[in-house]
Structure 1
Amino acid sequence: MLNFIKSLSRSQKRNIMLFIDAMLVPIALFFSFSLHANGEALVMMLAYLPVLPYLLIIGGALSVLMGISTIQLNAYETGAIGLTGAFSVALVIVSYLLTTAARIPITIPTHIVFGISFFIFSIISRAVLLQIVLAIYRRSSLRCRVLIYGAGTTGTQLVSALRSHEHIEPVAFVDDSKALHGLIVARLPVYSPVRIAEIAAEKRIDRVLLALPSLSLPKQAQISRRLQKMGLEVQALPSFAQLVGEEALVDKLTDVEPKLFLNRDEVATETGASAIASYQGKTVLISGAGGSIGSELCRQVMQCSPAKMVLFELSEVALYKVDMELRQIAEDTDIEIVPVLGTVTDARQVRGVLSDHNVQVVLHAAAYKHVPLVETNPLTGLANNVLGTHTLATEAAKTNVERFILISSDKAVRPTNVMGASKRLAELVVQDLASRVSAGDAPIYTMVRFGNVLGSSGSVVPLFQEQLRRGGPVTVTHPEVSRYFMTAQEAVHLVLRAGAMAKGGEVFVLDMGKPVHIEKLARQVIESAGYTVRDAKNPDGDIEIEFIGLRPGEKMTEELTLTGNLIGTTHRKIFSADEMALSEIEIASALRALRAALASNDEQAAREVALRWVEGYSNSRHEQLADATQFTPV
């Protein structure tokens, strides 16, 4: 039967509706005669037969002209009912004119009852026919049984639209409003959301439709996640503004630029003539070129018009992206771009790259920087950050590199994690090499230390924004934790300026401004996205801030220097730190011990190297292991 219905053409369906209306005309006439003819309905019907064919022909023509016979059953609503009423009036007028012309004695009230009867029968016939067709569809195909979350105006309109759908069957509502629980809305029962799991099992629900367009996106996401954990498929109904194109907001909204969370004026990033001269016409190698800092180094070095840029990167994806971006920027320039896929720990490859391309300036940004990851992978972190720096810096001296600039971190100061300890060891390696270079000789070794970069991969702002997109909560380690922040543009600009002014061996420290409380930053990110914070003062807010505790190796606050002694330079945002270095013998001993630990795959021995040689380093895991060996009397 379903195949027969689907095989019908539009003209065939129209003819069926014309036939049904034609059958309803004599039925409506007979019904009106029964009410007014005092038992002589059959006599009146026989008297009417001479004009009936004319009424049917004219009525059919009017139906086609008015489009009544072409209205789809599932679209037969208010407008179509109005057309049927107008058609019924037209039939009454035609019937009156025909009977008057044929001198058939039928009263005007009888004609009126005929029109009303036809109108009612026509509506009833279409409603019955629609239910028959839907029943055929339901029996002949699988139906998706849906639960509507939200029994408001949007939900009831959605149910009305779905009732005539071939493959979707609305089953029930759930709504947060207690006043609706237990009521029947749009012929469907309304339940409490706490019973969703029970209802889904009992009524064999396949999908939940969120009819809550006015609810904030985070709250919709929270509801959606909760339902998905129950194993339910969830879909959200867009708002009316989104449907008409006024608000494709989910796709069009962009995250707020990280620099807006600095809470201070951004450092001017105009590169001075002296800085430009240090890179102009040179061959510059950027290690870690695909990272957040590395890629920004590439962009700003390109503005200095180098002769060649060597992009040294371990990640193929990151190297591909930065290479494609820079080639587009360099289309109208003579700058040669050379992508190199490799690691700074490979001495043979590093030596070949530096000599083959006659590299003059090295900007060393390659490092594993994510504290928790390095904390759980200490051997890999120390090998890359310490031995990789030693390899690159040592080979730079052998291949006549003019300048070597190490990108360091404030986590290198009295570190509590392996990542910070590895960066401090890298600084000590560079300081040692710088101490062995005679004044006026090359290379000029230096390092630049700064704090967190807003917007960099793995930093808090992108993390918070991603948590917002998932509906929260936004996670903060501790209410009092704070960090120094700069934008990547600020940091790189100052790195290039510091590298240009270096004489050799300096530990440059960038002025990061005042430290920012991470909880305050989280609130700013939430509010900048147009949401409110849900807390004890505002229990109805959109996004909750959840405190998860400090992770292994994390500090409450960061420092920029070991001694606090800063020496001013020609740039007001760049300082030089007065810090002690290790001797050549001590560095050699540290590197030898670290290589031995790596060769034996001994994590604890590797940590011991950092504990011995990095000033102020305290490792929570090491201390826990030490505490565990203490005998505690019972």
Structure 2
Amino acid sequence: MISSLETMLNRPHAWANGLTRSQKKLILASVDALLVAFSLWTSVAIRLGSLWPQFVWNTGWWLLLALPLVGIGIFYSLGLYRVVMRSMGRHGALCILQGTILLSLVLTSFGYFDTRLFIPRSTPIIFALVLGCSLVAVRMIGRSYYRWLNERGAERRPVLIYGAGQSGLQLVSALDAAKEFRPVAFLDDEPSLAGSFFAGRRVHPPADLDALLARFGVSDVLLALPSISRARRKEIVEFLSQRPVQVQTIPSMAELVSGIESIDKLRNVGVEELLGRDAVDPDLDLFTSVRGRTVMVTGAGGSIGSELCRQIVTADPRCLVLYEMSEFGLYSIEQELSQLAPRGFCVHAVLGSVRDEPRLEQTIRRHGVETIFHAAAYKHVPLVEANPFEGIRNNTFGTECVARVAARCGVGRAILVSTDKAVRPTNVMGASKRLAERVFQKAQQRCKTTVFSMVRFGNVMGSSGSVIPLFQKQIAAGGPVTVTHPEVIRYFMTIPEAAQLVIQAGSMAHGGDVFLLNMGSPVSILDLAKRMIHLSGLDVKDDVNPHGDIEIVFSGLRPGEKLFEELLVDGTALPTAHPKIMRSLDSLAHSGGEIDDALSELRSAVENADMDATIGLLHRLVEGYSTEMTSGSGPEMELASTVRGGANLV
């Protein structure tokens, strides 16, 4: 019985859903014609206080037929029937206003020119008011019915919108037309908006969050704050991360204005929101190392290298040379830059290793390279620790090849992308990068035509091998999230910010400079893991909350890993023209001849796979280097690990 009743009720809905656009227009026009006749009868009845005054309708009955036809013609000419009912907005309301005014003037002219009609002077005014309200009401009812029809059977999740500005209103409009979310209320920091209604939803202060979560059963909060500062955004995300809600955000204002993204393209709040600082706009005067020059980026397909390429093509270089040993990485960045770069801009993609000196020289001379950003490196600490010889070959001797060729070819500037792990390293990767810095400093002592410099910074969010993508993957899989040690802290910076600062630092170099990027405050990795779990709308499972969703497991420090990283070797740094770039006073501990001999010994030890000699030389060459190779390290493990996982982590 219930099933047959439901089937009967579904028939009109199915019929309404199956109507064509032309059929819907015809039905709406017919309803409007009836509303015109109804409004005329109502206005006369209200004015004269009688349902059917004979002295009016005995001579004016034909108005009930003629005026609807005239009205349909006016509304059609104004484009009212081109306005889709479900998106009825300001344009539709304006068409109705214009149409009702014109139609009331037509009614007035009928009474003025036909003396047999009795139309009181206030009747056209009442008619316009009744008709306008009726037309709007019918369309609002139709829009509500359409939304209800569209939502039938869909389980829409209740959500809160943080931000009752224009972006919030646009987001609500987009969500109302979709089937996933049901906006129930707004949150906003502006006290004067509390209690107001926007798009039928009440605005609440953030203090009401917990009550709203309980009242509506909300598990999602959507941020509609595209233009607030990073610092304020961080405060809001930290406030929300303390509640069991998943936080998503609309794109940034830059993405919305450029048309890259639309208002309804929601994405999970990135951990950068927790680490975010107010950005410092790039100083355009510090892009001289790339503007109007032929620039080459080694490791162009890597995390830092690819972002350097993106930033460089927007800085008006003459052309860009991509140098990369990974075919897929090179293809990917070349395809991306073909869309990003201005029309006619030359991008040259070159497959090659930085250890192939003839290939490097051939490429630099062929394209007339003036500036080199050397970002090619193996950077994943445990992998390099398991493959020490390959790490040294690529990071140290590859850098030596770049330095020799740059000097020989008369390249104007060569900038080495270094790492905070090069400071008092406890792993082979850090030691190999510190030696790479030494190589560039040695090259500067011998060459006066090329300006060599180094830029040292910490972790970048989202790079290959970074802890953040690993945490995201572990949370998506249901856990557990692995943290090496409860006291580990790290510095973080976004990849675009790091790349911009590298370019600007390279332009300030005078020769042999070691630049340090201001990484802000260090972040506890354990706290970071907890915040990421909370931002995903989940709870941490621990002794206090045994029924939580995601467990955090401590796996122990990996070979060569430190509890904290440093940026300075001797603790001294000077400010520069940029507030986020400092110049280190690190000195070169070895003369050119001494380091040449030591590097020659190191090369022999690496080529002979002599682990003891290699580690001994690292201790001798790299100040502060201290580590013990774990059991199982050695030529055999190094070879096996290279076969299993020796990817090009540049």
Q: Please state if 1:261 is matched with 2:269.
A: no
Amino acid at match of 1:445: F
Alpha-carbon offset, residue 422 of structure 1: 0.4
Give distance in 1, aligned partners of 2:375 and 2:266: 32
1:193-232 matched pairs, under 5 angstroms: none
Q: For the pair shown, which has the larger CA radius of gyration, 1 or 2? A: 1
Give distance in 2, aligned partners of 1:355 and 1:403: 15
Alignment match, 1:591: 599
Query: Is the contact between residue 559 and residue 630 of structure 2 (CA under 8 Å) also seen in structure 1?
Result: no
Give distance in 1, aligned partners of 2:316 and 2:622: 39
Alpha-carbon offset, residue 355 of structure 1: 0.7
Query: Is the contact between residue 473 and residue 546 of structure 1 (CA under 8 Å) also seen in structure 2?
Result: yes
Query: Is the contact between residue 314 and residue 343 of structure 1 (CA under 8 Å) also seen in structure 2?
Result: yes
Give distance in 1, aligned partners of 2:563 and 2:354: 32
- After superposition, the Cα gap between the structure-2 partners of 1:426 and 1:78, relative to the gap in structure 1 and judged at 3 Å, is same
The equivalent position to 2:301 in structure 1, one of 277, 290, 309, is 290
Alpha-carbon offset, residue 307 of structure 1: 1.1
Alignment match, 2:116: none
- After superposition, the Cα gap between the structure-2 partners of 1:576 and 1:624, relative to the gap in structure 1 and judged at 3 Å, is farther
Per-residue CA distance 1:413-470 (angstroms, 9 max, x = gap): 00000000000000001011112233xxx21000000000011111111110000111
Total equivalences in the alignment? 382
Alignment match, 2:179: none
Alignment match, 1:452: 459
Amino acid at match of 2:319: K
Query: Is the contact between residue 482 and residue 515 of structure 1 (CA under 8 Å) also seen in structure 2?
Result: yes
- After superposition, the Cα gap between the structure-2 partners of 1:291 and 1:266, relative to the gap in structure 1 and judged at 3 Å, is farther
Query: Is the contact between residue 370 and residue 419 of structure 1 (CA under 8 Å) also seen in structure 2?
Result: yes
Give distance in 2, aligned partners of 1:537 and 1:610: 46
Per-residue CA distance 1:262-301 (angstroms, 9 max, x = gap): 1x41432x33232233211211000011111011100111
- After superposition, the Cα gap between the structure-2 partners of 1:433 and 1:389, relative to the gap in structure 1 and judged at 3 Å, is same
Query: Is the contact between residue 411 and residue 559 of structure 1 (CA under 8 Å) also seen in structure 2?
Result: yes
The equivalent position to 1:605 in structure 2, one of 587, 609, 613, is 613
Amino acid at match of 1:588: D
- After superposition, the Cα gap between the structure-2 partners of 1:622 and 1:609, relative to the gap in structure 1 and judged at 3 Å, is farther
Amino acid at match of 2:366: D
The equivalent position to 1:532 in structure 2, one of 531, 539, 548, is 539
SS in 2 for 1:311: strand
Amino acid at match of 1:341: L
Deviates more, 1:614-623 or 1:354-363: 614-623
The equivalent position to 1:353 in structure 2, one of 363, 379, 388, is 363
Structure 2 unaligned runs (5+)? 8-216, 221-264, 634-650
The equivalent position to 1:462 in structure 2, one of 469, 476, 500, is 469
Amino acid at match of 2:274: F
SS in 2 for 1:401: coil
Alpha-carbon offset, residue 311 of structure 1: 0.5
Query: Is the contact between residue 288 and residue 367 of structure 1 (CA under 8 Å) also seen in structure 2?
Result: yes
Give distance in 1, aligned partners of 2:524 and 2:479: 19
1:136-215 matched pairs, under 5 angstroms: none
Query: Is the contact between residue 299 and residue 323 of structure 2 (CA under 8 Å) also seen in structure 1?
Result: yes
SS in 2 for 1:278: coil
Alignment match, 1:493: 500
Alignment match, 1:148: none
SS in 2 for 1:312: strand
Give distance in 2, aligned partners of 1:275 and 1:81: 74
The equivalent position to 2:437 in structure 1, one of 395, 413, 427, is 427
- After superposition, the Cα gap between the structure-2 partners of 1:327 and 1:317, relative to the gap in structure 1 and judged at 3 Å, is same
Give distance in 2, aligned partners of 1:474 and 1:560: 28
Q: Please state if 1:517 is matched with 2:517.
A: no
Per-residue CA distance 1:65-117 (angstroms, 9 max, x = gap): xxxxxxxxxxxx9636999xxxxxxxxxxxxxxxxxxxxxxxxxxxxxxxxxx
Alpha-carbon offset, residue 255 of structure 1: 4.0
The equivalent position to 1:337 in structure 2, one of 342, 347, 354, is 347
SS in 1 for 2:287: helix
Query: Is the contact between residue 378 and residue 607 of structure 1 (CA under 8 Å) also seen in structure 2?
Result: no
- After superposition, the Cα gap between the structure-2 partners of 1:609 and 1:622, relative to the gap in structure 1 and judged at 3 Å, is farther
Give distance in 2, aligned partners of 1:616 and 1:544: 36
1:512-591 matched pairs, under 5 angstroms: 512-581=519-588, 582-591=590-599
Q: Percent of aligned positions with the same letter in both sequences?
A: 49
1:40-189 matched pairs, under 5 angstroms: 79=3
- After superposition, the Cα gap between the structure-2 partners of 1:302 and 1:78, relative to the gap in structure 1 and judged at 3 Å, is same
Alignment match, 2:485: 478
